Amino acid sequence: MSSETSAADARRTPAEPRPAGTILLLRDVPEYQVLMVRRHHQIDFASGALVFPGGKMHPGDDDPRWRDHVIGWDEVDATQRALRIGAIREAFEEAGILLATDPDGRAFSSVCDAEARRQVDAGELAFLDVVAGLGVKLSLTALTVFARWITPEMMPKRFDTWFYAAHAPADQVAICDGHETVDAEWIAPESVLDLAGSGTRTVIFPTLMNVKLLAEADNAADCLARADARPLVTVLPQIEIRDGERVLTIPAHAGYGDVTQSLASLKG
């Protein structure tokens, strides 16, 4: 890289990170597992990677009419309402999982309509209308804050992503949308680490770090308890030079330990 290019990079105004939400859906049967989806190879961000269901916020996520269609409206602030609604919407679109409660207080257990998922994803149908039509309420309080990561400043596309953890509905079946995701898989956190380590699966840096946190827990309840007790430290990776190599570093007090990631290994 030339000195002129380096100087230009230094002067470039970082892109504004877009709010995003993702959900770590957890279950204990047949073993402690998390739901992950594989990104379509034609998607421009994290193509082909194993990720948690999630994505950027949509304008309808902060519609005030949601007040009548969620549980926990007054228990979180306006920003968290929109983020959690958006994260639940993304899980609905990408994996066919809906974190909602029936009028009788039972967890929603029906199969999510594939056409409705497609229309919501395409912007042809409001997620609010889907939820209202089903007569259910989204469970905002079912989500526990797990982490918050902001894309490094040198990246052209940046996201301010909130990670949430939640018990997965016992009677729902995860089905990928075939558009953004091409596979939905329940997998033990340790298995994800093994697959990433062997190069069998691509797991992007933030996802991998949060899988490592998942692997520290013994089960879903333990994971949620650990997340609830852990201080939230916003992770904004920084570039440092170590042993002559450019690496990404994250705050040592964020709960992940002393972590460095070679920039060379982040290609693609």
Kindly give, in sequence order, each residue whose CB lies less than 8 Å from that of residue 128, ignoring residues fewer than 6 positions away: 60, 63, 65, 66, 69
Q: Encoding tokens for residue 117? A: 């998922």
d(CA 232, CA 118): 34
Tokens 């519609």 sit at which residue?
Answer: 63
Q: Encode pLDDT of 107-143 as tens digits.
A: 999 989 999 999 999 999 999 999 999 999 999 999 9
One-letter amino acid for residue 265 of the chain: S
Strand partners, 245: 242
Of 66, 118, 71, the residue nearest 92 (C-alpha): 118
The pLDDT score that the predictor gives to residue 177 is 64
CATH number for the domain running over 15-231: 3.90.79.10
Task: Give the pLDDT confidence score for residue 3 in this predicted structure.
Answer: 40
Reported pTM: 0.89
Distance CA 57, CA 81 (A): 11
Q: How confident is the model at residue 268 (pLDDT cuts 50, 70, 90)?
A: very low
Round the average pLDDT of the chain to a whole number and report it.
89
Rounded to the nearest 5°, which phi and psi values hold at 137?
-125, 135
pLDDT (tens digit per residue) in 17-55? 999 999 999 999 999 999 999 865 545 545 568 999 999
Contact status, residue 181 vs residue 49, Cβ threshold 8 Å = no
246-266 per-position pLDDT tens digit? 888 999 899 999 888 888 766
Buried b (16+ CB within 10 A) or exposed e, 76-85: beeebbbbbb
Residue 2 pLDDT class (50, 70, 90 cuts): very low
H, E, C per residue of 217-238: CCCHHHHHHHHHHCCCCCECCE
